[in-house]
Structure 1
Amino acid sequence: MKILAVASVGGHWTELLRLLPAFEGNEIIFASTKQSVAETLEFSKFHVIPDINRNDKRKLPNALYKIFALVSSIRPDIIISTGALPGLLSIIAGKIYGAKTIWVDSIANVKELSLSGKIASRVADRTYTQWPDLTNKRCLFHGNVLS
């Protein structure tokens, strides 16, 4: 299977890398918001995507174009993201192109799902929280990735 793994830099990227053993034996393609994180990978395909957030709407059209173009060119079987907004846009693009999609909300969201996580829970095939108290019919708990 071809898997597109997407996360913004920082904690989202760290959490995504902790999930990689679950995908051994598959082709994994990475995308993140800074080229420098590619140095943490060996022999893997890597793409830079725009770094955007909900407070900078002027960057949204360019980000949408680039993320949709990336998903269209890769045509992954699965897209997984641990956040943030660039990951959510990748999940949305994946649904349009027929990929199975997985969202893992950040462990930092202790009291409620992130805004992106709330949206992902309505779009993604599977949405996971890392806190048992945040489960609901759309968001599952199966442990956390940093323990």
Structure 2
Amino acid sequence: MNICFVASSGGHFEQLMMLYPMMKEHNSHIITEKTDYGINSKGIKTYFVTQINRRELLFILKIVSILIKSIIIFIREKPDVVISTGALATVPICVLAKLFRKKLIFIESFSKIHSPTITGRIMYKFADLFIVQWEEMKKIYPNAKYGGGIY
């Protein structure tokens, strides 16, 4: 099985890397944001997209850039499944997964106990499997699966 693991930088990437044992077992690649500080993808093939902030003036241009790069990566890698821990930079590849009729798994952030993330609200509508890490989040996402903490 070919799996695309996708996350923004920082804590979202940290949570994604908790899935490393699964990454090792499958043909996997990672898509994450390019930052000034390095990342440790533990030898898994990694692609970088532009880091974005929804409050930036160039936000729309950057999201289009990410979409174009995501299309290229998606066509090259042909994933069967996309697994995301958020956030915003991951939306284009997740939407592509659905357009290409691939499975999409979204894991809502561990840091969210009582309120949803913006990306979570978007992905809840699209994900084939939506996982929350806190039982309390089932009130917000009633069709989600409680998976416990990723840590």
Deviation at 1:96, TM superposition (A): 1.1
- TM-score, scaled relative to structure 2: 0.86
Match of residue 14 from structure 1: 14
8 Å CA contact 1:102, 1:124 repeated in 2:
yes
Among residues 75, 81, 85, which one is paired with 2:88 in the alignment? 85
**1:94 corresponds to 2:112:** no
8 Å CA contact 2:18, 2:150 repeated in 1:
yes
- TM-score, scaled relative to structure 1: 0.89
Deviation at 1:116, TM superposition (A): 0.5
Superposed counterparts of 1:43-58, under 5 Å: 43-55=43-55, 56-58=59-61
Q: 1:128 to 1:41 in 2, by over 3 A?
A: same
Match of residue 25 from structure 1: 25
Q: CA RMSD, aligned part only?
A: 1.6
Match of residue 144 from structure 2: 139
Partner SS, residue 85 of structure 2: strand
8 Å CA contact 2:51, 2:89 repeated in 1:
yes
How many residues are treated as equivalent by the alignment? Answer: 144
Superposed counterparts of 1:86-125, under 5 Å: 86-125=89-128
Deviation at 1:73, TM superposition (A): 2.0
Deviation at 1:69, TM superposition (A): 2.1
What CA distance in whole angstroms lies between the structure 2 residues aligned with 1:11 and 1:2? 24
Structure 1, unaligned stretches of length 5 or more? none
Deviation at 1:23, TM superposition (A): 4.4
Cα offsets for 1:58-91 (capped at 9, x unmatched): 3222121112221122110111010111222211
Cα offsets for 1:34-73 (capped at 9, x unmatched): 2621xx1343211111222332233222121112221122
Task: Read off the aligned partner of 1:7 and give its amino acid letter.
Answer: A
Tell me the percent identity.
26
